[in-house]
Structure 1
Amino acid sequence: MLKVGIVGARGLSALKGFQGIEGTEVVALCDLDGDYLELKAKEHGVPRTYRIYEDMLESDIDAVIVSTPMQLHVPQSIAALQAGKHVLCEVTAAVAMDELWWLKETVEASGKVYMMAENYCYIPQNQQIFQMVQQGLFGEVYFGEGDYSHDIRNLAFQANRVEQQAHIGKPTWRNYWQLGKRGNFYPTHSLGPIMQWFQGDRIRSVSTFGAGWHTDNRFRQEDTSITICQMASGKLIKLRLDCISKRPHNMTYYTLQGTKGCYEAPRGLGDTHKIWIEADGGSAEDPQWRPLSDFDDYLPERYKKATEEQRSAGHWGGDYFIVEDFVNAVRGVKKPAIDVYDACEWTAVALLSELSAMNGGRAMDMPDFRNASTVAEQVIKL
């Protein structure tokens, strides 16, 4: 039996996944808020509760799910790894470059599984495009785009509303670690799926430009930030982050362009996932979109056969399958789908983008987390 503990009672997206996998059990829940902790433990049938994280680490659990605010992810992941526990950590992996190096080195020294829980990689359509890329239907992919538009200003204060410029309630952690930062503080939802589509490539540099402050002057975060990731191959990924503007949410918009085809996610208002593939008889002279659903044969088999219980775990089944991949990695069946090197590179986009935005969009070199082995190689090059 794989015994799992979750730290962060407000982040239970993985819980249903574990409850649906044979041979796994969530046996412990940890949170500082004792009343909320007991409420959630009773609601989900978790037998043991802890208010002190280190006490949970001293118990007989095998793995920890880190679902706390992002500034706690590295300290809690490292503590778990050093206690001999496997780790599935929510995004982003860290809030500082040094933390990424500490995390990488601890994972390598521990021999335990570390996986980042970027569940947008597991959205069915993103997995479908991944399969089609792997089978060469897009030819050589050379441009991708991800858009995360989600007004979260109401989450920056404990009150659940925002009234013009008035400070309402006590600031939450998001006020500082998200809306208190410039650049793309939260890139992994937009970036992760595209990085998987750009098979084997890595990010060489990051450039970020902000649109300025127009909507709400309480925050350092600009209304919109555009990040360009130049790949080692010379290809491009474009990311838009907008968590300030007054607009409908659009958190799962992606495009992909290759030499033999292209894909666009829906923008809303009746739009649908659409694709054009040359090999499907598409005319290069007069290309016409087709719905992605016409190509559902390319969905991974486990998505085609997903049960209602698996789909109900969240994100159209993605929250179940990410847990399944983590469990299989712990059991030695496969490598982590999003390992510590992916976690570090994708998260570093946020940290480098802040420096870039503060320096007029200057290109910031991305460290090579897989190959850098000395402190001299762990530098941010200007």
Structure 2
Amino acid sequence: MKTMQDYAGFSESRRKFLKMAGAGTAALITPRFLFASSAQSSRKVRVGIIGGRFGLGFYFHEHPNCIVEAVSDLREDRRQALMKTYRCQKSYPSLTTLLKDKKVEAVFIATPAPDHARHVIESLRAGKHVLCAVPAAMTLEECAQIREAVQQTGLTYMMAETSVYRQGAISAKKFFKEGKFGTIFSAAAEYNHPGLDVLFFEEGKQTWRHGLPPLLYPTHCTAFLIAVTGARLTHVSGIGWGDDSKALQGNPYNNPFWNETAFFKTDQNIPFRVEVNWKGALMEAERAEWRGDKMSFYYPDGRNNQFTMVKAAEQQGRDDAGFEHTKNITEVYEVPEWWQTDLLPQPLRHNSGHEGSHTFITHEFIDAIVNEREPEVNIYEALAYTAPGIVAHQSALRDGEYMAIPSFDK
């Protein structure tokens, strides 16, 4: 088995931002790519949907450039649910059989996380463009294998990371593009999902979620920083918490932790704290904080639903001890409903899962294929979100050892 040192030869060069024609709202929001929502095309991308749980929550049947050609799941009841949702008359009992359908040119992989790398590679080798649920991979070896398959086939790969297209994250992209943060000097993100142990077993059988290490599912957090700033996470120290619970015994990952915290260093010198928690008296949240010398932006912390903006100011104030200090301005920020704008084609301008992100993911994938461009969350972004969590979990197993994170960029 390869070690992280075996990946040290990967190039550290950074992808250049794409320069695309046009202006308007989109130009202010995405730091790399624009939605080409104004482009007119009659092309119809024929898509296959694989996975009758998470796969039900998207809107390919509403996109003007898409036809859902076929669906697949191992279970008949889930195939029926997919056909009903996507108004599709064709189903297959497995991914392998669906990939033989020559009419299908792209697939959405919404299968269990440990299967993602294998299913993505199989789909690419079959000549299909791929959108895949998170995370991209479970090991560094898988990260390298997916990257190689994408580069060799030249096909479109995108990861369906919801944090990139949450309405608050779209606002943060806009602020960053406009320079409103000034210099971001620290950031934090957390994903709290207590109670996942109820999904450890189904019908008496162990599921892939049994004992899943929290930091092997990092992308809902890491995307909040990387998608906004373009930073790369270069080093990490991870810490885990477990309670010797019987519920974790015998899990396929040999994972002792319910909750994990990672302290990352970035190539932009931004300290970045990430928490992924499965158990405890926690408020459910997928949230982030970006702290700058001119402005900071805070997601709701679960105690209220207010986004908060703090602006540096020269006002004089007093702290609770009576000492004078320079007082900043704190404001409630009303996040725009970006899904109502021309960032999306008209049929997709409605709210959707994960704070409005699902319609954006649907459109970004289809539009990238139609316009033959890189999607925002391409293979390099996907691995930049995924690989740091893999190394952070290794660090936690080594009592917080400070470890380097390999780069999977070009």
For normalisation by structure 1, the TM-score amounts to 0.85
Partners in 1 of 2:374 and 2:51 — Cα distance? 26
Offset of residue 306 of structure 1: 8.1
Partner of 2:273: 238
Offset of residue 221 of structure 1: 4.4
Partner of 1:92: 135
Partner of 1:166: none
Partner of 2:367: 328
Offset of residue 228 of structure 1: 1.0
Contact 1:15 1:26 in 2 (8 A): no
Partner of 2:197: 153
2:61 counterpart letter in structure 1: Q
Offset of residue 58 of structure 1: 1.3
Partner of 1:292: 333
SS of 2:274 mapped into structure 1: strand
Partners in 2 of 1:127 and 1:342 — Cα distance? 16
Q: Deviations over 1:67-105 (max 9, x none)?
A: 000111111111111111100000000111111101001
Q: Deviations over 1:153-208 (max 9, x none)?
A: 1111216xxxxxxxxx3221111xxx243x51211001102112223x21111210
Offset of residue 55 of structure 1: 1.7
Partners in 1 of 2:379 and 2:343 — Cα distance? 29
For normalisation by structure 2, the TM-score amounts to 0.80
Of the candidates 117, 121, 130, which is equivalent to residue 164 of structure 2?
A: 121
Gap change, CA 1:243 and 1:282, over 3 Å in 2:
farther
SS of 1:88 mapped into structure 2: strand
The correspondence of residues 176-215 of structure 1 with structure 2, limited to 5 A, is: 179-181=211-213, 184-199=215-230, 201-213=231-243
Once structures 1 and 2 are overlaid, which stretch shifts more, 121-130 or 46-55?
A: 46-55
Percent of pairs with identical residues:
24
User: Does residue 1:79 correspond to 2:110, yes or no?
Assistant: no
SS of 1:239 mapped into structure 2: strand
The correspondence of residues 1-382 of structure 1 with structure 2, limited to 5 A, is: 1-13=44-56, 15-16=58-59, 18-59=60-101, 60-151=103-194, 152-158=196-202, 169-175=204-210, 179-181=211-213, 184-199=215-230, 201-213=231-243, 216-219=245-248, 220-250=255-285, 252-278=286-312, 285-293=326-334, 296=336, 302=341, 310-332=349-371, 334-371=373-410
Contact 1:67 1:89 in 2 (8 A): yes
Gap change, CA 1:139 and 1:39, over 3 Å in 2:
closer
Superposed CA RMSD in Å reads: 2.4
Partner of 2:34: none
Contact 2:70 2:92 in 1 (8 A): yes
Gap change, CA 1:207 and 1:310, over 3 Å in 2:
same
Partners in 2 of 1:129 and 1:300 — Cα distance? 15
Gap change, CA 1:272 and 1:326, over 3 Å in 2:
same
Partners in 1 of 2:80 and 2:315 — Cα distance? 57
2:74 counterpart letter in structure 1: L
1:83 counterpart letter in structure 2: A
Once structures 1 and 2 are overlaid, which stretch shifts more, 325-334 or 82-91?
A: 325-334
Contact 1:180 1:221 in 2 (8 A): no
Once structures 1 and 2 are overlaid, which stretch shifts more, 338-347 or 327-336?
A: 327-336
Offset of residue 218 of structure 1: 2.0
SS of 1:256 mapped into structure 2: strand
Offset of residue 314 of structure 1: 2.3
Partners in 2 of 1:197 and 1:231 — Cα distance? 13
Offset of residue 361 of structure 1: 0.6
Partners in 2 of 1:6 and 1:13 — Cα distance? 9
Contact 1:14 1:320 in 2 (8 A): no
Partners in 1 of 2:81 and 2:345 — Cα distance? 30
Gap change, CA 1:328 and 1:262, over 3 Å in 2:
same
Partners in 2 of 1:317 and 1:300 — Cα distance? 7
Gap change, CA 1:265 and 1:316, over 3 Å in 2:
closer
Partners in 2 of 1:31 and 1:112 — Cα distance? 24
SS of 1:320 mapped into structure 2: helix
Q: Deviations over 1:47-80 (max 9, x none)?
A: 1100132221111111000000011111111111
1:95 counterpart letter in structure 2: M
> Structure 2: which 5+ runs fail to align?
1-43, 249-254, 317-324
Gap change, CA 1:85 and 1:148, over 3 Å in 2:
same
2:242 counterpart letter in structure 1: G
Partner of 1:375: none
Offset of residue 300 of structure 1: 8.6
Once structures 1 and 2 are overlaid, which stretch shifts more, 268-277 or 127-136?
A: 268-277
Contact 2:106 2:129 in 1 (8 A): yes
